[in-house]
């Protein structure tokens, strides 16, 4: 893997030898933020529409180690938009101290009435991405009552679209 020197060193343990033949580890392009994650399956998996989420092994484990960093397992945009395959937990957070096998929770969001509603995942398919990001742990100030919030931002507790759609 080439590119600029990283300010983070991550240990990767390959648990499935097929990853090397599939080209892991690699990014989809020179500027890609996410490292491709493969479905380490022994046979194709057919996901019925709207069925419960399924855990798929990635064939690897990581040790980030530095608590200033974490990993995010995120979807591949085309699979969800065009095919209905999304992550069962939307985004998976991998803490710096987690060293177990990485699993991907997948779900077929397609409605059952579509002719091609089932999603098939083949061994080696790139089904998610792994993105590394910094973690910030703020110092909290405990405020008393809603009046403190109103004074701080002027927004109060409106929320859920209370500022409208247009300026």
Q: Dump pLDDT digits (tens) for 54-103.
A: 999 999 999 999 999 999 999 988 888 788 899 999 999 999 999 999 99
Round to the nearest angstrom and report the end-to-end CA distance of the chain. Answer: 46
- pTM across the whole model: 0.83
Residues 6+ positions from 101 with CB-CB distance below 8 Å: 15, 57, 58, 59, 60, 61
Band of residue 152 on the pLDDT scale cut at 50, 70, 90: low
Q: What's the CA gap between 47 and 91, in Å, rounded?
A: 19
Please compute the mean of the pLDDT values over residues 136-146 and round it to a whole number: 86
Q: What is the pLDDT of residue 49?
A: 95
Whether residue 25 has pLDDT greater than 80: yes
Kindly indicate the confidence band of residue 115, based on its pLDDT and cuts at 50, 70 and 90: confident
Candidates 18, 3, 30, 113; CA nearest to 60 is 18
Which helix (H) or strand (E) segment is 75 a member of?
strand 69-75
Closest to 19 (Cα-Cα) out of 96, 126, 129, 132: 126
DSSP per position, 12-61: EEE-STHHHHTT-S-BSSTT-SSEEEE---SS-EEEPTTPPPEEEEEEEE
Is pLDDT of 131 > 90?
A: yes
Q: What percent of the chain has pLDDT over 90?
A: 68
Q: How sure is the predictor about 167, in pLDDT bands with cuts at 50, 70 and 90?
A: low
Structural contact between residues 33 and 131, judged by C-beta atoms closer than 8 angstroms: yes
Output the pLDDT for position 54: 97
């Amino acid at each position: 893997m080439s590119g600029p020197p990283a300010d983070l060193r991550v240990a990767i343990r390959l648990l499935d030898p097929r990853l090397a033949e599939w080209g892991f580890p690699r990014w989809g392009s020179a500027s890609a933020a996410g490292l491709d994650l493969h479905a380490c399956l022994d046979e194709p998996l057919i996901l019925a529409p709207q069925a419960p989420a399924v855990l798929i092994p990635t064939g690897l484990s990581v040790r980030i180690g530095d608590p200033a960093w974490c990993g995010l397992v995120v979807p591949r945009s085309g699979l969800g938009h065009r095919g209905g395959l999304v992550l069962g937990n939307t985004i998976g957070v991998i803490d710096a101290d987690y060293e177990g096998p990485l699993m991907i929770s997948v779900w077929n969001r397609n409605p059952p009435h579509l002719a091609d509603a089932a999603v098939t995942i083949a061994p080696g398919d790139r089904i998610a991405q792994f993105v590394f990001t910094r973690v910030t742990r703020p110092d909290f100030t405990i405020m008393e009552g809603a009046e403190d919030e109103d004074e701080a931002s002027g927004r109060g507790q409106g929320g859920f679209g209370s500022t409208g759609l247009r300026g």
